[in-house]
A and B are shown apart, each in its own frame.
Chain A
Amino acid sequence: MKNIAAMYALVVKAEFIKLRRTVALWLTFLYPLGSVLLASLFIYSMRNQKAMSPVAAVNNINNVAAFFLPFYIVLTISFFCLIENRNNMLKYIISLPVPRHAFFIGKLLASFALMAITLLLLLIFSLVSFLLLAIINSKTNMLLTMDYGYLITVFCRTIIAGIAMTVIQYILSLRLKNVVAPIAIGISLAILPIAVLFVLGVTGVISNPQVLTWLPLYDPYTYPYSHFFNIMSGPSYKLQFLPLPSLVYLFISIALVVFGVYEFNHREIK
């Protein structure tokens, strides 16, 4: 067991060397920075109106982050796997004395590590943003009244909501050599259900806005959006760190990882 853990750690370490100068690493910095920047501009634009509560400010940042999360995951994971596919590196890596499952799991763990870095950066950039807003305008000083537990919970549950789609995108990206294919599939899965919802809403087929909160639940690529909608559904909404759908998606993710390892172990590396 210790040996397996050590082997996974070696693979993760090697994956981080590969990440240098890659689009995947840049996106990991740009996504939280962009999300916080966009939300902060909105918060700043509201400075002359009624003072925004810290919870509302956090929700603003989280909404932007939840909206862009599927795109971030699709692009980051696809480009991360492209590192192997671009130069036929999979053949070389599999010819090394590393079990195939260790490579598969190790690289997936590195993908999760990228998401953890994203979460951390999201928290750091948010705090820096609140600090800067307070310096610019004392009316928007939220650092002293901030509910830090809420801040961490909101961001964590949004990132956790992306785990299932991370696993699916990872399996797809490692399977399909042409990077366009996994990106196209991922973006379609993230946009189409929302587009359908929009059309149904415009045409009046959906008249109940509550539908918006549960419909995205059934597609792992739109599930992060539901956090956006849930938070918008008002103060009666009870914030859970790990809501039931997230728990279900975690179990689905584990099943997908088992399937992925089996497929990868038996794959012909042509």
Chain B
Amino acid sequence: MPDIAAIRTTQLDYSYNRHPVLNSVELVVPAGSIFGFLGPNGAGKSTTIKALLGLLHVKPGTIFIFGKELNANRIDILKRTGATVESPSLYEHLSARRNIEITRQLRGISQSRTDEVLDIVGLYSDAQKPVKQFSTGMKQRLSLALALLGEPELLILDEPINGLDPEGIREIRNLLLKLNREKGCTIFLSSHILEEIEKVCSHVAVIHHGRILFQGNAASINPNAHTGGILLLDTSDVQRCRLLLSDSECADTQGNQLRIEYQNKQEAAAIIRKIIEAGIEIYSAIPETFSLEESFFELLRQDNKS
């Protein structure tokens, strides 16, 4: 059966000067997904990306990309991959066009592709300018152009929207969505900007202290999804509900709404039953949804606690 994961890692461990940076990292990036890789500074995001590109030798641990083991098939895999690592890596004394020419030569790609990628990232008119005169946003876009040069099936982007203005962020977002939709390109991107990840990514993983705290569908990141959550109840008598329920059951009141904290679904059902049996009407019961940002910080908080 073919492996449907574009990236699959098993037991990735890595240490800098005996300080563990990656701790049994197991990632599964579904093919065709836009995968957001989240984590605070120093969590191990860039180290993971370096490992995925074969810059670091992770032992023990295995990396499979397109179903092939990385060390044994590095060149074949990298031919199908485009990447940016850490801050935009560019030859600043050269023009944008020369920067692309260098990569084009090394990848053995036809010359016409240079103009294509310059056009895609909107740098065609600035192609002759030395990169040192570029703004951070322009450098980010040029880095992306270099990554797109080989028409990759997998894009690995390290903080691709850092330094971009809102317009630039929107352009890059639309470009990534287009690449994913039209070319079926799998995109693995790390970012601090959670709002953007939320807008773009179909899947996310959260890394903290070198350990994966969560990975899966972006919609299922709610850290309390398995154990419980918060229910917002619109009732006919909030005050009576407050008296009826114990402090541990009732978290708060917001106008006519009651915030109920529950540990599991059975507990939520029991609380609702208790209110109805007391003759109070419930007009609506809506589970409180977490934004990605809230979920992210909740995951970190839980990890720090443990």
> Which A residues contact B (CB, under 8 angstroms)?
10-11, 13-14, 17-18, 20-22, 83, 86-89, 91-99, 266, 268-270
Determine if B202 is an interface residue (Cβ-Cβ < 8 Å).
Answer: no
**Which A residues lie within 8 Å of B91 (CB)?**
18, 83, 87, 89
Determine if B198 is an interface residue (Cβ-Cβ < 8 Å).
Answer: no
Determine if B83 is an interface residue (Cβ-Cβ < 8 Å).
Answer: yes
Closest to B90 in A: A87
Shortest C-beta distance, B105 to chain A (Å), equals 5
Determine if B245 is an interface residue (Cβ-Cβ < 8 Å).
Answer: no
Beyond A13-B105, A94-B55, A96-B106, whether A88 also contacts B86 by CB under 8 A is yes
* Pairwise interchain contact A269-B55, C-beta atoms closer than 8 A: yes
Contact with A along B93-111 (1 / 0, CB 8 A): 1100010011101111000
- Apart from A14-B105, A87-B90, A270-B56: 9 A-B pairs, beta carbons within 8 A: A83-B91, A86-B92, A91-B55, A91-B85, A91-B86, A92-B85, A96-B107, A97-B106, A99-B75
* Pairwise interchain contact B94-A98, C-beta atoms closer than 8 A: no
23 pairs, A vs B, C-beta closer than 8 Å: A14-B102, A17-B101, A17-B102, A17-B105, A18-B91, A20-B93, A83-B93, A87-B89, A88-B87, A91-B55, A91-B86, A93-B106, A94-B53, A95-B55, A97-B75, A97-B79, A97-B106, A98-B75, A98-B106, A99-B75, A268-B57, A269-B56, A270-B50
**Which B residues lie within 8 Å of A22 (CB)?**
93
Closest to A93 in B: B106
**Which A residues lie within 8 Å of B98 (CB)?**
17, 20
Closest to A22 in B: B93
**Which B residues lie within 8 Å of A89 (CB)?**
89-91
Bound-state Cα–Cα, A92 to B57, Å: 16
Residue with the greatest number of chain B CB neighbours at <10 A, chosen from A10, A14, A96, A268: A96
Determine if B283 is an interface residue (Cβ-Cβ < 8 Å).
Answer: no
Closest to B80 in A: A97
* Pairwise interchain contact B53-A18, C-beta atoms closer than 8 A: no
**Which B residues lie within 8 Å of A21 (CB)?**
93-94
**Which A residues lie within 8 Å of B16 (CB)?**
270
Determine if B280 is an interface residue (Cβ-Cβ < 8 Å).
Answer: no
Determine if B78 is an interface residue (Cβ-Cβ < 8 Å).
Answer: yes
Bound-state Cα–Cα, A270 to B150, Å: 24
**Which A residues lie within 8 Å of B56 (CB)?**
268-270
Shortest C-beta distance, B42 to chain A (Å), equals 14
**Which A residues lie within 8 Å of B50 (CB)?**
91, 269-270
Bound-state Cα–Cα, A270 to B17, Å: 12
Bound-state Cα–Cα, A96 to B85, Å: 11
Q: Which of B38-59 contact A (CB under 8 A)?
A: 50, 53-57
**Which B residues lie within 8 Å of A86 (CB)?**
92
Closest to A94 in B: B55
**Which B residues lie within 8 Å of A87 (CB)?**
89-92
> Which B residues contact A (CB, under 8 angstroms)?
16, 50, 53-57, 75-76, 78-79, 83-87, 89-94, 98, 101-103, 105-108, 146, 150
* Pairwise interchain contact A268-B55, C-beta atoms closer than 8 A: yes
Bound-state Cα–Cα, A20 to B90, Å: 14
Bound-state Cα–Cα, A200 to B92, Å: 47
Bound-state Cα–Cα, A86 to B16, Å: 22
Bound-state Cα–Cα, A94 to B16, Å: 20
Select B94's contact among A11, A20, A268, A270, beta carbons within 8 Å.
A20
**Which A residues lie within 8 Å of B55 (CB)?**
91, 94-95, 268-270
Beyond A21-B93, A95-B53, whether A14 also contacts B106 by CB under 8 A is yes
**Which B residues lie within 8 Å of A18 (CB)?**
91, 94, 102
Select B106's contact among A11, A266, A268, beta carbons within 8 Å.
A11
Bound-state Cα–Cα, A22 to B56, Å: 30
Beyond A266-B57, A268-B55, whether A95 also contacts B106 by CB under 8 A is no
**Which B residues lie within 8 Å of A11 (CB)?**
106
* Shortest Cβ-Cβ A-B pairs, 4 listed: A97-B78, A92-B89, A269-B55, A95-B53
**Which A residues lie within 8 Å of B54 (CB)?**
94-95
Shortest C-beta distance, B225 to chain A (Å), equals 36
Residue with the greatest number of chain A CB neighbours at <10 A, chosen from B76, B79, B106, B146: B106
Bound-state Cα–Cα, A196 to B152, Å: 58
Bound-state Cα–Cα, A21 to B91, Å: 11
**Which A residues lie within 8 Å of B87 (CB)?**
88
Bound-state Cα–Cα, A212 to B9, Å: 61
Shortest C-beta distance, A203 to chain B (Å), equals 46
Bound-state Cα–Cα, A112 to B76, Å: 30
**Which A residues lie within 8 Å of B75 (CB)?**
97-99
Bound-state Cα–Cα, A266 to B101, Å: 28
**Which B residues lie within 8 Å of A95 (CB)?**
53-55, 78, 83, 85
**Which B residues lie within 8 Å of A88 (CB)?**
85-87, 89
Bound-state Cα–Cα, A83 to B98, Å: 14
* Pairwise interchain contact B85-A10, C-beta atoms closer than 8 A: no
Bound-state Cα–Cα, A17 to B114, Å: 15
Bound-state Cα–Cα, A180 to B106, Å: 29
Shortest C-beta distance, A55 to chain B (Å), equals 42
Shortest C-beta distance, A13 to chain B (Å), equals 6
**Which B residues lie within 8 Å of A93 (CB)?**
106
Bound-state Cα–Cα, A199 to B102, Å: 49
